[in-house]
């Protein structure tokens, strides 16, 4: 493949809702998925200074159709977003959805077809349609949630034979990492704590985050004076030894949106545009890694393609998000990308280098754990954060120096490594 974009493409608007629970979280409580989507889309269109009728196409992301029951999402959302009669498609790449949408939108613009494309992702991982009601929802059980989520995992031989996400994505990767770099289980545990503490700190500075409580405050709430004591307590069991519960994703409902446009027209928009410099996408079925659980070939390919298309090197990256459903996996990816030194990611976490004000800032919105994870909407939330950071508009968690180049890596479940590179214009 030639792996180039024949024309320059920019993000001219971004939007993202509060990530939480449609049945509980005040900011989004009782909203329909149509309204949740519209909230993100409105923010993105307003940001770009456009209306739904100004876009040429709508790429509508939603992964778990069993909970949303809104296939043909392009048409079901069209009267809620003002996009009637535009081109459209419903798509999913699970937790990479919105950024795979960004890549598809970029190609549609660089091909010469469309000038402006709206991409959105919406998901409810917490509740489902109740009976046949057009507006009532009911909570999903833990098992139901995983049954539907794991439908994205090999249905012939993976799930039927005892596949377990916590093992595959956390425990085995952690052990591979410790063995490879000679790290003790105790040091691993301390490093994971520090990483989670950083993510919780970021979440506490983000009014849209699913969890806005710092680890210190959580400890206090439980009557413990020390955050590490909280970390090692029964509040944080091993879900796949040596990985603990708080190194994992928290599920959420949410929506995100972005407006992509030709770079030559983006500057006349309402907000500071950001250029799509490149992307790389590579899918793989189970197992996601060979003998070494820290090296994922699909990520290697995606990173290589994105770097090649954008022409950047690891040293150019000012802000990085790597997919962190599993915190240890996210660190492996950051090392793979070259943002962190091999085997030194836990040190970096302990030294505070991964904080918004550190020299290797990562996931400043709080990541999948603190910001929360709403499958098809999440990659868009990562891009949203990157754009805010690049514009210097990230509020309390703003990096001291807005990054010139941001890289966002996501894992679309089961499995698709996706990397996008954003640059200032």
Q: Write the interaction track for its own copies spanning residues 24-43; mark x where CB under 8 A is met and - where it is not.
A: --------x-x---------
Could you give the CA distance from residue 188 to residue 178 in angstroms, rounded to a whole number? 7
**326 upstream amide cis, omega within 30 of 0:** no
* Distance in Å, CB of 385 to its own copies, minimum: 23
Pick 33 or 379: Cβ nearer another protein: 33
Q: Which of 11, 100, 119, 159 binds another protein (CB under 8 A)?
A: 159
The b/e string for 127-165 (b: 16+ C-beta within 10 A; e otherwise) is bbbeeeeeeebeebeeeebbebbbbbbbeeebbeeebbb
Residues 56-95 within binding reach of its own copies (CB under 8 A) = 56-58, 63-66, 69-72, 74-76, 78-79, 83-94
* Distance in Å, CB of 399 to another protein, minimum: 32
Q: Write the interaction track for another protein spanning residues 270-289; mark x where CB under 8 A is met and - where it is not.
A: ---------------xxx-x
Cα dihedral angle (104, 110, 116, 120), rounded to 10 degrees?
10
Residues 126-145 within binding reach of another protein (CB under 8 A) = 131-135, 142-143
106: contact with its own copies by CB under 8 A: yes
Pick 152 or 201: Cβ nearer its own copies: 152
* Distance in Å, CB of 309 to its own copies, minimum: 8
Phi, psi for residue 151 in degrees, rounded to 5: -60, -20
Could you give the CA distance from residue 104 to residue 96 in angstroms, rounded to a whole number? 12
Pick 49 or 358: Cβ nearer another protein: 49
Q: Which of 54, 56, 217, 308 binds another protein (CB under 8 A)?
A: 54
238: contact with another protein by CB under 8 A: yes
Rounded alpha-carbon distances, angstroms, from residue 235 to 170, 219, 327: 18, 9, 18
SS (H, E, C) 133-197: CCCCEEECCHHHHHHHHHHHCCCCCCHHHCCCHHHHHHHHHHHHHHHHHCCCHHHHHHHHHHHHH
Q: Which does 187 bind (CB under 5 to 8 A by kind): another protein, its own copies, none?
A: none
Choices 137-145, 339-347, 384-392, 406-414 (CB under 8 A): range interacting with its own copies: 406-414
Could you give the CA distance from residue 325 to residue 199 in angstroms, rounded to a whole number? 12
Pairing of strands 319-321, 405-412: parallel
Rounded alpha-carbon distances, angstroms, from residue 188 to 56, 185, 215: 49, 5, 18
Q: Which of 104, 165, 227, 336 binds another protein (CB under 8 A)?
A: 165
Give the residues lining the site for another protein (CB under 8 A): 28-32, 34-35, 38, 42, 51-54, 78-84, 131-135, 142-143, 146-147, 150, 156-157, 159-168, 170-172, 174-176, 178-179, 185, 238-243, 285-287, 289-291, 293
């Amino acid at each position: 493949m030639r792996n180039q974009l024949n024309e320059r493409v920019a993000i001219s608007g971004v939007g993202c809702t509060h990530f939480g629970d449609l049945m509980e979280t005040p900011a989004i409580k009782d909203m329909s998925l149509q309204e949740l989507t519209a909230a993100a889309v409105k923010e993105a269109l307003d940001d770009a200074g456009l209306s739904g009728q100004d876009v040429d196409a709508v790429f509508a992301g939603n992964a778990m159709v069993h909970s949303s029951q809104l296939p043909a999402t392009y048409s079901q959302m069209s009267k809620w977003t003002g996009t009637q009669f535009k081109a459209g498609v419903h798509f999913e790449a699970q937790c990479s959805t919105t950024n795979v949408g960004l890549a598809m939108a970029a190609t549609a613009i660089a091909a010469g077809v469309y000038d402006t494309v709206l991409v959105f992702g919406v998901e409810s991982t917490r509740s489902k349609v109740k009976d046949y009601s057009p507006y009532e929802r009911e909570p999903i059980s833990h098992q139901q949630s995983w049954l539907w989520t794991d439908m994205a995992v090999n249905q012939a031989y993976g799930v039927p034979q005892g596949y377990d996400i916590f093992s595959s994505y956390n425990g085995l990767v952690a052990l591979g990492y410790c063995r490879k770099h000679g790290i003790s289980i105790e040091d691993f545990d301390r490093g994971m704590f520090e990483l989670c503490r950083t993510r919780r700190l970021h979440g506490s500075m983000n009014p849209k985050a699913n969890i806005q409580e710092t680890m210190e405050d959580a400890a206090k709430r439980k009557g413990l004076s020390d955050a590490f004591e909280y970390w090692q307590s029964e509040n944080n069991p091993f879900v796949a030894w040596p990985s603990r519960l708080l190194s994992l994703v928290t599920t959420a409902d949410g929506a995100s949106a972005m407006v992509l446009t030709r770079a030559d027209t983006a500057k006349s928009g309402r907000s500071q545009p950001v250029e799509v410099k490149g992307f790389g996408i590579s899918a793989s079925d189970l197992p996601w890694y060979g003998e070494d659980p820290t090296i994922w070939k699909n990520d290697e390919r995606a990173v290589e393609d994105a770097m090649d298309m954008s022409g950047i090197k690891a040293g150019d990256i000012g802000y990085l998000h790597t997919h962190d459903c599993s915190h240890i996996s996210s660190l492996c990816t950051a090392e793979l990308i070259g943002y962190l030194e091999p085997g030194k990611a836990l040190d970096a976490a302990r030294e505070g280098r991964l904080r918004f004000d550190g020299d290797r800032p990562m996931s400043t919105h709080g990541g999948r754990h603190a910001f929360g994870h709403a499958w098809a909407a999440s990659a868009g939330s990562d891009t949203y954060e990157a754009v805010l950071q690049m514009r210097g508009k990230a509020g309390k968690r703003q990096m001291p120096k807005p990054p010139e180049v941001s890289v966002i890596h996501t894992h679309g479940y089961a499995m698709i490594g996706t990397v996008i590179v954003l640059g200032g214009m």
